[in-house]
Chains A and B, each alone.
Chain A
């Protein structure tokens, strides 16, 4: 976790939860190491950047609630959908590779992912 601590100054709890931030640091590091080239990301100092509305001051409280609801929704997913979700997000696999690994058609991977994301997103909307 050295890398995570070295990057600790970039953590901003108004922008993301700790787990999200740790995920992004680990992912970027992983890409840098394995691919040996820099991860392409938005540069917040980019003169071309178009900013959306800034989140409300109470966004952080909402986020805690949201994270809880998101976790509940993940627990409630059918195993086949949760499996696809894990392979896509955690193992960083391409959809075709997920299909090959599970010996299911690509369209099944797509539909399972779509169904799972729909459910999770519903739980991330403000109540």
Chain B
């Protein structure tokens, strides 16, 4: 059972639809692992439902200038969205996350993804990147692998899919979400529980500490 959960604010944003796409996929994946948060999310939905009923006519006019209800009424059923085909990806990632990753990576097999070196024993597949580095990525690390000491350019969410890692804030296992604030500086180490896959979302790339690490990262970034 997951020990570390997304904040209530994040759950509210997930329920209301304010969370961005990768965050939404991460939360949906965490919910798949966590009955406790399934319950919490349905409480948020109940509140939203009650508000929805009250504010009925006036609802959501400001949602990007469109009226949500009208939109829903006018549009016919959209074509089926393509989900991820069965493959090793869907064995480690809950369905909503597997779909998200598949849509960006175009591969259903973990081996077929485009992995890049990030450090000894650590590889990552960048799903959304910026000029300064990765924003959304799948990370794969061997037991014992040590991440470069780094802090964050922005808040960062990590969801563990397999294995586990530890830093000075705790031990994160399958289904756990670490919400690292921009100010957090840490150096995760992979525990001896097999290969650790994690899905990481941030608004800005991580910032390595120390000159060597910075140079290495710059080289990696190309």
- The reply to whether B99 and A40 form a contact with Cβ atoms under 8 Å apart is yes
Binding site for B on A (CB under 8 A): 1-4, 6, 16-17, 19-27, 29-35, 37-43, 45-46, 48-53, 66-67, 70-71, 74, 85-95, 110, 113-114, 117, 120-121, 124
25 contacts between A and B (CB under 8 A): A2-B73, A19-B52, A20-B48, A22-B49, A27-B68, A29-B71, A33-B78, A41-B96, A42-B31, A42-B32, A43-B95, A48-B93, A49-B94, A50-B32, A52-B38, A53-B35, A67-B46, A74-B47, A74-B50, A85-B47, A86-B55, A89-B51, A90-B55, A121-B43, A124-B43
Rounded to whole Å, the gap between the CB of A57 and the closest CB of chain B is 18
Known: A48-B33, A89-B47. A38 touches B28 (CB 8 A): no
Answer whether residue B36 sits at the interface, using C-beta atoms and an 8 A cutoff.
yes
Binding site for A on B (CB under 8 A): 1, 8-9, 12-13, 15-18, 21, 24-25, 27-29, 31-36, 38-39, 42-55, 59-64, 66, 68-69, 71-78, 81, 93-97, 99-100, 103, 175
- The reply to whether A3 and B60 form a contact with Cβ atoms under 8 Å apart is no
- The reply to whether B52 and A88 form a contact with Cβ atoms under 8 Å apart is no
DSSP class of B's interface residues: helix, strand, loop or mixed?
A: helix
How far, in whole Å, are A93 and B31 apart by their CA atoms in the complex? 22
Known: A23-B52, A40-B99, A43-B96. A117 touches B16 (CB 8 A): no
CB closest chain-B residue, reference A73: B50
